[in-house]
Amino acid sequence: MNTEILSVIFIVTAIVVLAYPLGRYISKVFKGEKTFLDFFAPVENIIFRISGIDPYRDMDWKENMKAMLTINFIWFMWAMLILSLQNLFFWNPDNIAAMEPAQAFNTAVSFMTNTNLQHYSGETGASYLTQLIVFCFLQFVSAGTGIAAAALLFKGLANKSGSNLGNFYSLMLKSSTRILLPLAILVSVILLINGTPMTFSGAQEVITLQGDTVNVARGPVAPMVAIKQLGTNGGGFFGTNSAHPFENPNFITNTVEIISILLIPVAMVFALGFYLNRKKFAYIIFGVMFIGYLSLLIPSVYFEMNGNPEIEKMGISQPLGSMEGKEVRFGSASSALWGITTTCTSNGSVNSMHDSSTPLSGMMQMLGMQLNAFFGGVGVGFINMFTFIVLAIFISGLMVGRTPELLGKKIEAREVKIAVLVALMHPLIILSGTALAAHIWASTANPGEILKWLNNPSYHGFSEMFYEFTSGAANNGSGFEGLGDNTPFWNIGTGIAMLLGRFIPIIGPVAIAGLLSQKKYTPESSGSLKIDSGIFGVVLLSVVLILGALLFFPGLALGPVSEFFSILR
Amino acid sequence: MLKNLKQSLILSLITIILFGFLYPVLVYAFGQLMPKKSSGSPVTVNGRITGFENIGQSFTDDKYFNNRPSAVNYNAASTGGSNKGPANPEYLSEVKARIDTFLVHNPGINKKDIPSELVTASGSGIDPDISPDAAYIQIRRISGIRNISADKLKELVSQNTEKKYLGFLGIDRINVLKLNIALDQLK
């Protein structure tokens, strides 16, 4: 068998094998059971004492969401402050200037919402200090926020009665210190061993073998790359993210980084099984997500390895596949693997330029973000899937004429209304944003000169705009980077998309969990719908595909599908 | 509300110190234990820094093994790919022009033997590697210019080929900077 495909199978298998024990560990952290990292506890207790937070005070869903929004608001203000003043501080050896307001707004929102859409380029737009105390910091706590939100949801599902979902502050801090931090240190060390820089020296001027003078940007790269992968953040130190040889020096780091993207999202599903003691339910959810993930991955690997048909027509060979925008050390199969992994999980880091992917591969990347439920971001991935679970239970209930129930709690009109609203929000943001952008482009005379947005004509140009709003709403952060996106329209437009796409899909499902928690528990009987059966898995997958794919299909037909047929052999 | 705000503010400040300072400093300390102190692995030739091991640099001269086209001309202070779509006509004519240029500089080579990475731009714009095929195809040209036998060059290329890890992870590749430094030292 082709070794490139073998590498892909090896990496995917490694993820699942590693995620299972991690899931068990995460469940213990959520429940407050003993773990081998309990030596952190005194540190955490001191932090809580200074902050005046009682970590054992359980709160209901409203209080928890208030806490989440308050602390996120502070993070946003912090990021705005530093980004607007970064030129004044230390750790800025390359004399990077301050960000202008619209770009600072976009960047602050982007890192607070775990999106990491980057309308600046790391080596020219952010000082070392900014990279660490704004980006690296937010990459921890925004991921911690997502994981904590999932923990609140788990608690709501586990409760037989009462309205207490746990303490957001405590869960957020523990998710960061007990789950993210140890893994980030481990991944950082692996990166250092393979040559990723960790230095506070500025760019180094070199005179090349051929005699050219070149400045080589570097910096404190390793710690940020580790957490950007593990926390499904995705924001790279350099503009070209993990395609940059400093961020991702060889195939070993590439393997470790891909595993890091998917590790926690997969582990969260297993954690649910351990937490609720409903392992079979977790396996069904895992199965649905895994089938969805593979059905995007396999075509993408196939198309990238087959190369660009237009280049084949020129009569040269493409033994490595489609290589535009890709690095030789990764090859096309692993670049496709990364492309689908990063878009399915709302990570958004890249090791190849998605703008240059073959048409249907680009479509699979967009679909990963549009469905946004095949593993998804840390914590929020399961939360997104939970919305679909509620809808699937409701629809199954209608079909068989029984009261829809989830784990012994009745699902009634209010919960279904919230779920429908959340599920429709995502396509609404993406489609209306893209429609607005396309309208502005089409109604501007000579848009190429005046707006300077698109790097490619025709169908692909439309895809660039479609991808950008999709990426913002899904809190992904990757891009068809040819898009000239550092303009007020894109900075503010995607900023709003990111905010809505972050907080509505968290607050809605947590509210549902809070409401369910308070309801009367009736033990499951032979009359209840079995949610840990294969049939329910099929219904769930159908709901995701029908809701998602049908809503987005017209847009995809205008972009990548048309492009695909235009270059068919 | 005010209590929430105060708690959030203090918790944020402490976590900024923890994740924004202490965590990077810890990683920095690990970095100092690495053989090259994690400064990016500079490569020195005759006492002068000529580049970084993993950062590709422009090799357009016929006497060197050429590497891939770059959308940013190997500017390692502002990296980037072309971001051209696969059907973009402007892009496709650029690729055609690169093929023609390659054939002019490498007479006697069959068009179908040109590996596609030599006419397509990388994602970072500073890809340090090419595939072994892309090196072998340039041997005839370099042998003529440098008066070194093709067999000797073939040996050099094969010595500089980095194989897949464990025999299956990754792609066989050649670091072009290392290859050309070795080429300059060949007598």
pLDDT digits (tens, 9 = 90+) for A439-448: 999 999 888 8
The closest CB to that of B121, out of A123, A315, A324, belongs to: A324
Residues on chain B touching A86 (C-beta within 8 angstroms): none
Q: Do B27 and A198 touch (CB under 8 A)?
A: yes
- Composition of chain B by helix, strand, coil, percent to 5: 45, 10, 45
B66 in a structural domain: yes
Residue A122 has pLDDT above 90, yes or no: no
Please, which residues have CB within 8 angstroms of residue A448's CB and are 6 or more apart in sequence?
A: A454
Four-point Cα dihedral A393, A396, A401, A405, nearest 10: -20
The confidence score (pLDDT) of residue A569 equals 65
State the average pLDDT over residues A241-263: 96
The rounded distance, in Å, linking the Cα atoms of B39 and B51 is 12
Residues on chain A touching B23 (C-beta within 8 angstroms): 136, 140, 181, 184-185, 223
State the average pLDDT over residues B81-99: 95
The closest CB to that of A181, out of B1, B23, B112, belongs to: B23
The confidence score (pLDDT) of residue B12 equals 96
Residue A536 has pLDDT above 70, yes or no: yes
The rounded distance, in Å, linking the Cα atoms of A15 and A267 is 9
DSSP annotation of A218 reads: -
Cα distances from A371 to residues A220, A344, A471, in angstroms, run: 35, 8, 12
The rounded distance, in Å, linking the Cα atoms of B143 and A103 is 52
B47 in a structural domain: no
Q: How many domains does chain A have?
A: 1
10 Å CB burial of residue B39 (0-12, 13-18, 19+) is middle
Residues on chain B touching A137 (C-beta within 8 angstroms): 15-16, 19-20
The closest CB to that of B95, out of A78, A176, A314, belongs to: A314
Residues on chain B touching A51 (C-beta within 8 angstroms): 7, 10-11, 14
Q: Tell whether B12 and B63 lie within a shared domain.
A: no
Q: Tell whether B27 and B73 lie within a shared domain.
A: no
State the average pLDDT over residues B130-150: 95
State the average pLDDT over residues A151-162: 94
Residues on chain B touching A319 (C-beta within 8 angstroms): 115-116, 131, 133
Q: Tell whether B83 and B148 lie within a shared domain.
A: yes
The rounded distance, in Å, linking the Cα atoms of B137 and A458 is 36
The closest CB to that of A71, out of B12, B87, B129, belongs to: B12
B81 in a structural domain: yes
Q: Tell whether B31 and B71 lie within a shared domain.
A: no
Write out pLDDT tens, residues A282-328.
999 999 999 999 999 999 999 999 999 999 999 998 999 999 999 99
Amino acid identity of A216?
V
Residue A213's beta-bridge partner residues?
A207
The rounded distance, in Å, linking the Cα atoms of A121 and B80 is 10
The rounded distance, in Å, linking the Cα atoms of B58 and B127 is 10
B70 in a structural domain: yes
Q: Using pLDDT thresholds of 50, 70 and 90, give the confidence band for residue A1.
A: low
Residue A54's beta-bridge partner residues?
none
Interface test with A, best of B116, B117, B168, B178 (most A CBs within 10 A): B116
Q: Is B173 on the interface with A (CB under 8 A)?
A: yes
The closest CB to that of B127, out of A51, A141, A328, belongs to: A328
- Centre a 10 Å sphere on the Cβ of residue B161 and count the other Cβ atoms it contains: 16
Residues of the domain holding A431: 3-566
Residue A401 has pLDDT above 90, yes or no: no
Q: Tell whether B168 and B80 lie within a shared domain.
A: yes
- CA-wise closest residue to A471 among A361, A344, A290: A344
Return the ∠ at Cα A526 (arms to A522 and A531), rounded to 5°.
75
Residue B67: phi and psi, rounded to 5, are -115, -155
The confidence score (pLDDT) of residue A363 equals 96
Residue A545 has pLDDT above 70, yes or no: yes
Interface test with B, best of A227, A248, A327, A332 (most B CBs within 10 A): A327
The confidence score (pLDDT) of residue A110 equals 96
Map tokens 């972009």 to a residue. A559
Both tokens of A266, joined, read 């997969």
- CA-wise closest residue to B115 among B68, B70, B161: B68
Using an 8 Å Cβ cutoff, are B61 and A220 in contact?
A: no
Q: Biggest alpha carbon distance in chain B? A: 80
Q: Using pLDDT thresholds of 50, 70 and 90, give the confidence band for residue A547.
A: confident
Residue A419 has pLDDT above 90, yes or no: yes
Checking phi first, is residue A162 left (phi over 0); if not, alpha (psi -120 to 50) or beta? left
Both tokens of B115, joined, read 């590996």
The rounded distance, in Å, linking the Cα atoms of A214 and A395 is 61
The confidence score (pLDDT) of residue B3 equals 86
B46 in a structural domain: no
Q: Do A356 and B82 touch (CB under 8 A)?
A: yes
B134 in a structural domain: yes
Residue B173's beta-bridge partner residues?
B162
State the average pLDDT over residues A336-345: 96
Return the ∠ at Cα A207 (arms to A201 and A212), rounded to 5°.
125
Q: Using pLDDT thresholds of 50, 70 and 90, give the confidence band for residue A151.
A: very high
Four-point Cα dihedral A508, A513, A514, A515, nearest 10: 90
State the average pLDDT over residues A22-49: 92
B109 in a structural domain: yes
Residues on chain B touching A181 (C-beta within 8 angstroms): 19, 23
Residues on chain B touching A5 (C-beta within 8 angstroms): none
Residues on chain A touching B92 (C-beta within 8 angstroms): 310-311, 314
The confidence score (pLDDT) of residue A523 equals 85
Q: Do B57 and A482 touch (CB under 8 A)?
A: no
Cα distances from A470 to residues A83, A432, A435, in angstroms, run: 25, 11, 12
Write out pLDDT tens, residues A190-204.
999 999 999 999 899
Q: Do A567 and B51 touch (CB under 8 A)?
A: no
Q: Tell whether B73 and B139 lie within a shared domain.
A: yes
Q: Where are the alpha helices (DSSP H) in A196-355?
A: 222-230, 251-276, 279-306, 309-313, 331-344
Residues of the domain holding B7: 1-39
Question: Which residue of chain A has the CA closest to B32?
Answer: A198
ipTM more than 0.85? yes
Burial state string for A144-178 with b = 16 or more CB within 10 A and e = fewer than 16:
bbbbbbbbbbbbbbbbeeebbbbbbbbbbbbbbbb
Contacts with A, B 59-118, CB within 8 Å: 59-61, 64, 68, 74-92, 95-96, 99, 111-117
Q: Using pLDDT thresholds of 50, 70 and 90, give the confidence band for residue A359.
A: very high
The rounded distance, in Å, linking the Cα atoms of A118 and A503 is 20
The rounded distance, in Å, linking the Cα atoms of A11 and A73 is 38
The percentage of chain A sitting over the pLDDT mark of 70, rounded to a whole number, equals 100
Cα distances from A357 to residues B82, B85, B87, in angstroms, run: 12, 7, 10
State the average pLDDT over residues A373-391: 94
Instruction: Give SS3 for B45.
Output: strand
Checking phi first, is residue A234 left (phi over 0); if not, alpha (psi -120 to 50) or beta? left
Q: Do B16 and A323 touch (CB under 8 A)?
A: no
The rounded distance, in Å, linking the Cα atoms of A497 and A431 is 11
The confidence score (pLDDT) of residue A568 equals 83
The closest CB to that of A197, out of B4, B39, B168, belongs to: B39
Q: Tell whether B6 and B87 lie within a shared domain.
A: no
The rounded distance, in Å, linking the Cα atoms of B46 and B139 is 26
- CA-wise closest residue to A228 among A375, A347, A380, A147: A347
Residue A524 has pLDDT above 90, yes or no: no
Q: Is B39 on the interface with A (CB under 8 A)?
A: yes
Q: How many domains does chain B have?
A: 2
Both tokens of A387, joined, read 């919305």
Map tokens 């390692």 to a residue. B76
State the average pLDDT over residues A85-94: 91
Both tokens of A518, joined, read 């308070």
Residues on chain A touching B129 (C-beta within 8 angstroms): 327-329
Checking phi first, is residue A277 left (phi over 0); if not, alpha (psi -120 to 50) or beta? left
Using an 8 Å Cβ cutoff, are A40 and A178 in contact?
A: yes
